[in-house]
Amino acid sequence: MHPEPQHHEHVVAGGALPHPSDGYTHDHDEVPHTHPDPGVDPHEPLVAGPRALRIGIGGPVGSGKTALVAALCRALGDELRLAVVTNDIYTTEDADFLLRNGVLPAERVRAVETGCCPHTAIRDDISANLDAVEDLEATLGPLDLVLVESGGDNLTATFSKGLIDHQIFVVDVAGGDKVPRKGGPGVTAADLLVINKTDLAPLVGADLAVMDHDARARRGDRPTVFLSLVEDRLATPVADWIRDLAKARIPA
């Protein structure tokens, strides 16, 4: 399954109607279709131009995913048409947070329930998240960027490529400077690793040089950035990383 807008409900391969006795027949060169609800157009909305860049933001509970989303909305809200999908069990918490902070109006945020399995919803069965992304695009019109925040999970959670184009994994220094060394798919394979809350490093005795060294060893050429969202309210290195990706997609 792939989220590219390639599916079209009315394109029916020859012979797809298994019961020719249904009471209607079509010439073989005609695309058969019905409009069950007069007044309701059953077509998928047409995607004008390329669909939005989708970025997944994963990482353990409390590492700063929502704070990062808020910072990115602040940094990019004026230059990119953006929307957010959250997978938090507090169905309105993250949306309220973004709203309260004045970074994103409520209609640009959708919450998805994950049935106790946050990583299932972003990896194994991504349907609810895809539906949320499509609904946002259908109600808001074309978007440049959709941020998908995963529910807080452990270090093994990663996003399916069927849902997002690139993923960011957020850990924090308060989790201990051993986190990058432990690895796991989030730390090793994410397109960008964010080590957040560097302002707390002296308080928790975390050695940033150790984290940097271990992250490099784990991640090879993949980028890692250090961040303190209380000091950098625009998450500048992350926003720049996204700007480059968005630029690469939208031909000048």
Partner 1 sequence: MGLATLLVLADGRLPSGGHAHSGGLEAQVSAGRVRDIDDVAGFLHGKLATSGLVAAAFAAAACDRPARSPELDAGFDSRTPSPALRKASRAQGRALLRAARAMWSLPPVSREPHQPVALGVVASAGGLTPVEAAVAAAHGTVSGAASAAVRLLGLDPYAVHGLLARLAPDCDRIAAAAAARAGDPVDDLPAAGAPLLDIGAELHATWEVRLFAS
User: Which helix (H) or strand (E) is 212 found in, with range?
Assistant: helix 208-219
CB count, 10 Å around CB of 20?
9
**Rounded distance between C-alpha atoms, residue 148 and residue 69, angstroms:** 9
Which of 118, 180 has the CB closer to partner 1? 118
- Tell me how far, at minimum, the Cβ of 68 lies from Mg ion, in Å: 9
Residues near partner 1, by CB under 8 A: 1-2, 7, 9-10, 12-13, 16-19, 22-24, 32-34, 36-37, 40, 42, 44, 89-92, 112-117, 120-121, 124-128, 130-131
Q: Is 142 exposed, middle or buried (0-12, 13-18, 19+ CB in 10 A)?
A: middle
List the one residue from 73, 104, 193, 229 that touches ligand GDP (CB under 6 A). 229
Q: How many CA atoms lie within 13 A of 15 on its CB side?
A: 0
Which of 47, 174 has the CB closer to ligand GDP? 174
Which of 150, 188 has the CB closer to ligand GDP? 150
List the one residue from 114, 160, 188, 228 that touches ligand GDP (CB under 6 A). 228
Classify the phi-psi angles of 166: left when phi > 0, otherwise alpha if psi is within -120 to 50, otherwise beta: beta
Which of 124, 231 has the CB closer to partner 1? 124
Contact by Cβ (8 Å): 216, 249: no
- Residues in contact with Mg ion by the rule CB under 5 A: 65-66
- Residues in contact with ligand GDP by the rule CB under 6 A: 59, 61-67, 152, 196-197, 199-200, 228-230
